[in-house]
Chains A and B, each alone.
Chain A
Amino acid sequence: MKFKHTLAAAAVALTVGTANAADIEVTHWWTSGGEAAAVKVFADSFNAMGGDTWVDGAIAGSGGVARPVIVSRILGGDPMGATQLNHGRQAEELVEAGLMLDLTELAEKEGWRDIVRPSSLLDSCTLDGKIYCVPVNIHSWQWMWTNPGAFEAAGTEAPANWNDFVAAAPKLQEAGIVPLAIGGQPWQINGAFGVLAVALGGTDLWKAVNVDKNAEAAGGAEMAKVWEAFGAARELATGSAVEQWNEATNLVLTGKAGAQIMGDWAQGEFSVAGKSAGTDYDCLPGLGLETVLSTGGDAFYFPVNDDAEVTAAQMKMASMMLSKSVQVDFNLAKGSLPVRGDVDLSAANDCMKKGLAILENPDNILPDGTQVLSPDTVQQIDDLLAEFWATASMSAADAQARYADLIGDAD
């Protein structure tokens, strides 16, 4: 009986689907528990609007696996209805080649310029004054997660900033606790390096290097301090032989490691384990030295399609993703911050509130590395940092010289 019902329902859905509405296939790489729940918010809201259907096209693996698949499908003339990407330069060439739908009209009608905060997110979606993507959340790298219990066990105080942390590190090591947990994957090392550069070098230096690509600044004395600290971090991380970021988070969670430098998605792991912010774990935005947040995140792009119905449905979806209620539900599930400031986030925890408070002041906002550097440059820096991290004999000065060359050649 049940089977018959399903069959009938499927048949109805099929006929309806082909008759007067479009199936929109949406590709993304959100497959972990919290991420899947967040996608479901989108899918349910879209289906509830009636007519069109959300067809889920999740691609397992991280962005590194999914992005080539997504890009080659668009280039190969088999575009999906919509796709997640990190906004910024990853889709730059696809937009230039006219493969992405122009959303400017919708954006002007709904006044995206006024509601999206920070405005740099929308700038990353903009090329030649036209808007090509919908930013849906803000993720920031600029956090260090600490376990106060681990510091207590080693007989020292929980650190309030990076300098305290470095000072406390020897005691942690004596107690058999790894001070700093970092997974061995290059993107994690690159992320931690970026956080150190912002916190120790300051935002001006970071902008000079990453936005203006100033090779002199990248090879200068200020940056040398950052490299020294990064070399010290390499020492502090010896002993944490893990690969994945969530394994590293788990080391902090269980008190085997003191701290981890990782983006705000790490918080999902703490909350899944039932830990509460402020007591079981603590968060230091900008390593406790600089109150800044870089604002990367995810955005949805809509590949150009010949079918007018699909285009209409794409517009509808774009509008839905930025609507108030969807923004709140989605971001609470994802653990990220909403892209509009005019929504109610009373359900957020302490660390999320710290982040929201920082975002209040536009001066505290930095673009994300992926927004200002091309994937090619990011890959080269990844390679360099991975080599440095794994080669104890490589000096910070040598690495810095090569880093300055890379920045000088960056486009």
Chain B
Amino acid sequence: MAQSQRPSSLFRNLSAKIAAIPMILTALVIFVGCTVWTVVYSFTKSRMLPKEDFVGLMQYERLWATKRWLVSVENIAIYGICSLILSLVIGFVLAALLDQKIRFENTFRTIFLYPYALSFIVTGLVWQWILNPTFGIQKVVRGWGFEDFTFDWLANTDYVIYAVLIAGLWQGTGLVMALMLAGLRGIDEDIWKASRVDGIPSWKTYLFIVIPMMRPVFVTTLVIIAAGIVKVYDLILAQTSGGPGIASEVPAKYVYDYMFRAGNLGQGFAASTMMLVTVLIILIPWVILEYGGKKNAS
């Protein structure tokens, strides 16, 4: 259905393009401009105020020699990988279970989605109390007579990041489930009928037919989860404040602490540039894979 006579493509939908100019400018100035500014100043010795006092890679050398930054990177990797996999798996399983035309589906959906309505601050505080060894689960179970029961992940430097992960999953899985459920509902009923006629077990249908058909839903979900992982900050702040010690620090908190509390802009800029680089390393190949071949396909 191609148009028979195309005017110059520049003037097509002219009003729409004019309307988009403010947005384009905002994107260029705020996002691109400020990003470039940050990267440039990460090579300076700026303290509380930005100064054009270039020192080469000094800030980066210091950054990668800092234990707290290394711990932060390790934590975000653990949190990121686990939360990506687990929230996709749990979210999909919950959605598939809800999709079995069960009774009280609305009730369950509400219960699962409800945590998402809470902010990370509230989530963090709630789980801080639940996991607190002196007041929370440990105390309750010991009260039942299991005197040796220990569940002190919040006070344990090795496990504290998993305690944060639990809270993050509790908060975020509901949304993943809702997205997946919407995807499942979008699958044509006839496909299920056909697979039943062919005698394919339903788990196989899910795995080899339904999931590949839900690819767009998975991509959307992935982007939402990934964005949540990179910016995780408030959850940590509310639940552990980075402690015990520096065991649950994350990069975003490092950036904030050094820019504003320590008054060392250069160091904060260097750390945020590293965060940007990491995101780009993951994003660029994916964008090329996802959209690069599209022109030929459609």
Q: Name A's B-contacting residues (CB within 8 A).
A: 64, 67-68, 71-72, 75, 90, 92-94, 97, 184-185, 241, 243, 374-376, 378-380, 383-384, 386-391, 402
Contact = CB atoms under 8 A, between A and B. Distances in A.
A184 B258 contact: no
Given A90-B263, A241-B133, A376-B263, A390 B257 contact: no
A387 B245 contact: yes
Contacts, number: 70
Contacts of B54: none
Contacts of B245: 386-391
B123 interface: no
Nearest to A394: B245
Contact of A387 (B47, B67, B241, B261): B67
B62 to A, nearest CB: 8
A390 B243 contact: yes
A64 B68 CA distance: 18
Contacts of B67: 383-384, 387, 402
Given A64-B261, A241-B133, A390-B243, A94 B48 contact: yes
B262 A376 contact: yes
A92 B48 CA distance: 9
Contacts of B47: 93, 374, 376
A390 B157 contact: yes
Contact of B260 (A68, A185, A384, A391): A68
B9 to A, nearest CB: 43
Interface string B216-248: 000000000000000000000000010111110
Given A241-B134, A374-B47, A390-B244, 15 more contacts: A68-B260, A71-B48, A71-B260, A72-B260, A92-B48, A241-B133, A379-B261, A379-B264, A380-B262, A384-B67, A386-B243, A386-B246, A387-B245, A389-B245, A390-B246
A379 B258 contact: yes
A375 B243 contact: no
Nearest to B133: A241
Contact of A97 (B49, B241, B247, B258): B49
A389 B247 CA distance: 11
B44 interface: no
Interface string B128-157: 000001100000000000000000000101
Contacts of B272: none
A390 B159 CA distance: 13
Contacts of A387: 67-68, 245-246
A390 B261 contact: no
Contacts of A374: 47, 263
Contacts of A184: 243-244
A359 B257 CA distance: 35
B267 interface: yes
Interface in B44-69: 47-49, 66-68
Interface in B238-290: 241, 243-247, 257-258, 260-264, 267
Contacts of A388: 245
Nearest to A65: B261
Contacts of A67: 260-261
A14 B241 CA distance: 43
B157 to A, nearest CB: 6
Interface of B: 47-49, 66-68, 133-134, 155, 157, 241, 243-247, 257-258, 260-264, 267
B261 A241 contact: no
B133 A379 contact: no
Contacts of B257: 379
Contacts of B258: 376, 379
Contact of B263 (A375, A380, A389): A375
B68 A376 contact: no
A379 B47 CA distance: 13
Contact of A375 (B49, B134, B247, B261): B261
A75 B68 CA distance: 28
A378 B247 CA distance: 19
A205 to B, nearest CB: 25
Nearest to A184: B243
Contacts of B262: 375-376, 378-380
A186 to B, nearest CB: 8
Contacts of A380: 66, 262
17 contacts: A64-B261, A67-B260, A71-B48, A71-B263, A93-B263, A94-B48, A184-B244, A185-B241, A243-B241, A374-B47, A375-B264, A376-B262, A379-B261, A383-B68, A390-B244, A391-B247, A402-B67
A376 B264 contact: yes
A184 B241 CA distance: 10
Contacts of B243: 184, 243, 386, 390
Contacts of B260: 67-68, 71-72
Contacts of A72: 260
B25 to A, nearest CB: 22
Nearest to B69: A383
A405 to B, nearest CB: 9
Nearest to A392: B157
Contacts of B263: 71, 90, 93, 374-376
A346 B198 CA distance: 96
Nearest to B257: A379
A53 to B, nearest CB: 30
Contacts of A97: 49
Q: 4 shortest A-B CB distances, which residue pairs?
A: A390-B245, A379-B262, A68-B260, A390-B244
A241 B68 CA distance: 22
Contacts of A386: 243, 245-246
Nearest to B134: A241
Contacts of A375: 261-264
Nearest to A409: B62
B264 A390 contact: no
A185 B261 CA distance: 15
A253 to B, nearest CB: 18
A241 B139 CA distance: 14
A184 B261 CA distance: 18
A243 B258 CA distance: 22
A64 B261 CA distance: 6
Contacts of B66: 380, 383
Interface centre among A67, A72, A379 (most CB of B within 10 A): A379
A299 B257 CA distance: 23
A130 B64 CA distance: 39
